[in-house]
């Protein structure tokens, strides 16, 4: 299993918490619901408790021989809809992929019969990831006011480097570099580049895409945060990783078409 070194993870988490605090302040000094962390921590805890209860039920029924794959799919939909999801993505991004990976691992495990040990392992990983997500949000809530000024300075220094190419082109090129780096045996750097590409590139176009094809955005989120990281964690072959990237490229081509259409529509308005 290849993971980011703990010091790097902690540093990245601190930066993300600072950026989250900066983004929380709106034009008139008010906080949006997902950014008013202190007021919503209880809601997040309730959402996580409900998710954990659902997982417990799924695992118990799997052990009893029931088919539960559809219920895991429904759990993924729940994760995408709760406010806790957006709060983690906004304020504790380094922990965001770990939740996706655990969900993806659980989904794969329940497809196999007699895999009780694997299912229980993914259950533990998902519960731990959810617990860490709540903890990170509590930390962000305590820092939200005091670090707003510091966060704004940090935000200006941590954006993506200037690049004149279309964002989709950059994403596709980066994904090819992810495969190349992984093929060379450096899974840690491959995961880091994948994570960086999602944060610095894909998140910047999500808003425009989701209005036109929300399912496409969801599929690509899963690819970035679950499918590819899970393949690398399981030490899949580079060819398997490349095959998944090719599937992503087709989705990204669709995304480019949607972005082009959006640009044309905007031009026609003016």
Residue 162 counted as domain residue? no
**Residues 207 and 121 placed together within one structural domain of the fold:** no
The domain tally of the chain equals: 2
Report how far residue 24's alpha carbon sits from residue 148's, in angstroms, rounded to the nearest whole number: 8
**Residues 151 and 181 placed together within one structural domain of the fold:** no
**Residues 192 and 97 placed together within one structural domain of the fold:** no
**Residues 123 and 190 placed together within one structural domain of the fold:** no
**Residues 240 and 151 placed together within one structural domain of the fold:** no
Residue 117 counted as domain residue? yes
End residue of a domain, out of 101, 135, 156? 156
Q: In 3-state terms, what secondary structure has residue 92?
A: coil
Per-residue pLDDT of the chain (270 residues; tens, 9 = 90+): 333 333 334 433 433 434 344 343 333 345 555 668 888 899 999 999 999 999 999 999 999 999 999 999 999 999 999 999 999 998 888 889 999 999 999 999 999 999 999 999 999 999 999 999 999 998 888 776 555 444 443 444 444 556 678 899 999 999 999 999 999 999 999 998 998 899 889 988 988 898 899 999 999 999 999 999 999 999 999 999 999 999 999 999 999 999 998 888 766 554
State the DSSP H helix or E strand holding residue 226, giving kind and residue range, or none if neither.
Answer: none
* CA nearest to 216, candidates 189, 262, 247, 240: 247
Task: Express the helix, strand and coil content of the chain in percent, nearest 5 each.
Answer: 80, 0, 20
**Residues 25 and 128 placed together within one structural domain of the fold:** yes
> Which pLDDT belongs to residue 269?
52
Residue 54 counted as domain residue? yes
> Which pLDDT belongs to residue 35?
67
Structural domain span for residue 22? 6-156
Output b/e per residue, 6-35; b: 16+ Cβ within 10 A: eeeeeebbebbbbbbbbbbbeeeeeeeebb
- Long-range contacts at 40-46 (CB < 8 A, ≥ 24 apart): 40/83, 40/87, 41/134, 41/137, 41/138, 41/141, 43/83, 43/84, 44/83, 44/84, 44/87, 44/134, 44/137, 45/134
Report how far residue 17's alpha carbon sits from residue 96's, in angstroms, rounded to the nearest whole number: 13
> Which pLDDT belongs to residue 2?
38
Chain centroid to CA 220: 10
Claim: this prediction has a pTM higher than 0.85: no
Q: Phi and psi for 115 in degrees, rounded to 5?
A: -105, 45
């Amino acid at each position: 299993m290849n993971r980011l070194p703990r010091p790097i993870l902690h540093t990245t988490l601190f930066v993300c918490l600072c950026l989250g605090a900066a983004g929380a302040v709106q034009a008139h000094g008010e906080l949006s619901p997902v950014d008013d962390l202190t007021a919503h921590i209880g809601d997040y805890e309730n959402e996580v408790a409900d998710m954990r209860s659902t997982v417990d039920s799924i695992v118990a029924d799997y052990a009893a021989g029931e088919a539960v794959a559809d219920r895991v799919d429904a759990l993924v939909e729940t994760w995408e809809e709760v406010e806790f999801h957006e709060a983690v993505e906004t304020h504790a991004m380094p922990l965001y992929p770990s939740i996706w990976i655990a969900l993806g691992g659980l989904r794969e495990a329940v497809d196999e019969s007699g895999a009780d040990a694997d299912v229980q392992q993914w259950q533990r990983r998902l519960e731990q990831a959810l617990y860490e997500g709540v903890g990170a949000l509590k930390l962000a809530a305590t820092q939200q006011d005091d670090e707003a000024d510091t966060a704004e300075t940090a935000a200006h220094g941590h954006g993506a480097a200037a690049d004149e190419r279309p964002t989709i082109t950059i994403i596709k090129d980066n994904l090819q570099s992810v495969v190349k780096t992984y093929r060379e045996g450096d899974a840690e750097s491959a995961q880091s580049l994948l994570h960086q590409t999602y944060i610095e590139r894909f998140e910047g176009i999500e808003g425009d895409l989701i209005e036109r094809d929300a399912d496409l955005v969801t599929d690509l989120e899963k690819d970035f945060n679950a499918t590819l990281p899970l393949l690398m964690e399981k030490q899949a072959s580079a060819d398997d990783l490349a095959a998944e990237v090719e599937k992503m490229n087709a989705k990204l081509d669709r995304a480019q078409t949607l972005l082009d259409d959006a640009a044309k529509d905007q031009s026609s308005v003016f």
